[in-house]
């Protein structure tokens, strides 16, 4: 079973590192894209927003969010406004974002791990 796992996040993010470590423990290879250093992946992000909704990709609990000017913190942003904001402030991305084939997972907790495990089992 060959599965391509792409992880987007920040290299110093604890959850991103935990996800990489977990996949490695499962014997799976990943590719990591640092949204700050490597650039914000607008094309991929359009897919995330289409699949999961604009609200799902923005971390509204982050320090970056709290420091934004009030005009940037609209509660009902359109997908294009969300993508523009993430392009300007990549640290606002809810992390990690993981693409496994044509599926997208955001965050890294027990629920997400279980969803990923089920998705991976469907490849066997």
Contact 107, 15 (CB under 8 A): yes
Measured distance CA(67)–CA(117) in Å, rounded: 36
Q: What are phi and psi of 58, to 5 degrees?
A: -105, 130
Measured distance CA(57)–CA(43) in Å, rounded: 14
Q: Please, which residues have CB within 8 angstroms of residue 12's CB and are 6 or more apart in sequence?
A: none
Q: Which of 13, 68, 91, 119 is catalytic?
A: 13
Secondary structure letter of residue 118 according to DSSP: H
Measured distance CA(108)–CA(71) in Å, rounded: 30
Task: Give yes or no: 13 in active site.
Answer: yes
Residues tagged active-site: 13
């Amino acid at each position: 079973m060959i599965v391509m796992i792409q992880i987007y996040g920040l290299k110093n993010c604890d959850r991103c590192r935990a996800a990489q470590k977990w996949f490695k423990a499962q014997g799976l290879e990943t590719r990591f894209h640092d949204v700050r250093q490597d650039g914000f992946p607008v094309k991929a992000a359009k897919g995330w927003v289409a699949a999961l909704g604009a609200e799902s990709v923005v971390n509204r609990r982050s320090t970056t969010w709290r420091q934004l000017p009030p005009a940037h913190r609209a509660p009902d942003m359109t997908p294009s406004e969300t993508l523009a904001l993430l392009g300007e402030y990549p640290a606002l991305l809810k992390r990690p974002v993981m693409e496994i084939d044509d599926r997208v997972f955001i965050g890294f907790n027990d629920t997400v791990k279980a969803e990923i495990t089920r998705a991976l089992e469907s490849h066997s």
